[in-house]
Amino acid sequence: MLRFMFKAGQFDKYNQFMTELKAMPKNIVEVYKKADSMMQEYAENYWNEPLTYLIGSGNLESWAVCYGMCIMEEMQWMPTRPISAADFFHGTLEVVDREIPVVLIKGEDKTRTQMERAENFVHRISNKVTVFDTKDFELQGISDEFRWILSPIVMRSAFMRLSIHLENVRKHPLDIRRYYKALDY
């Protein structure tokens, strides 16, 4: 996609980005290391909640949906409600309460202000707010102007550690399903 944009004259820093991208394998290892303790803490605190809201926006909105639906629900049987920050104030805000965990998955794109608005609200309402923010992860050799592009890679890498910790704390392997590929439907 970025190469097409470059060829169309829409991404003139393509070559710089591709050069900097070579630093990402080492950065991802550091993301794993830094995320490990925070993800372990989250898993230990919230492994058995009756419902969890996950809020994402921009290029991390689909990650909130994917993680909630595919990992927490399908693989861990944990009820979730993924929601976009843009849609949060159209209903979900009325059902959040002090005891419902809310996970904010913050990136660095143009929708960050939507996430900050949701974050400010949920901190006033819920006692169980967790913020995972790509800004908390150093990306050596990556220019600030490119961080937003890499936010999905960073967050997915961090959440890989959460999957492992949920699996361990819940004593529920990620490959066990009740119905998926077990029943005809």
**Cβ proximity of 173 and 51 under 8 Å:** no
Q: What is the pTM of this model?
A: 0.93
CATH label, 47-170, candidates 3.40.1190.10, 3.90.190.10, 3.40.50.10490, 3.40.50.720? 3.40.50.10490
Q: How far apart are CA 129 and CA 57, in angstroms?
A: 17
Segment 61-90, tens digit of pLDDT: 999 999 999 999 999 999 999 999 999 999
Provide, rounded to the nearest whole percent, the portion of the chain with pLDDT above 70: 100
Residue 47, pLDDT score? 98
Task: Encode burial over 4-36: b for 16+ CB neighbours within 10 A, e otherwise.
Answer: eebeeeebeeeeebeebbeebeebbeebeeebb
Total residue length of the chain: 185
Residue 113, pLDDT score? 98
The candidate with the shortest Cα–Cα distance to 20, out of 179, 104, 139, 159, is 139
Domains of the chain, residue spans: 47-170
Task: Output phi, psi for 182, to 5 deg.
Answer: -110, -30
Segment 147-166, tens digit of pLDDT: 999 999 999 999 999 999 99
Mean pLDDT taken over the chain: 96
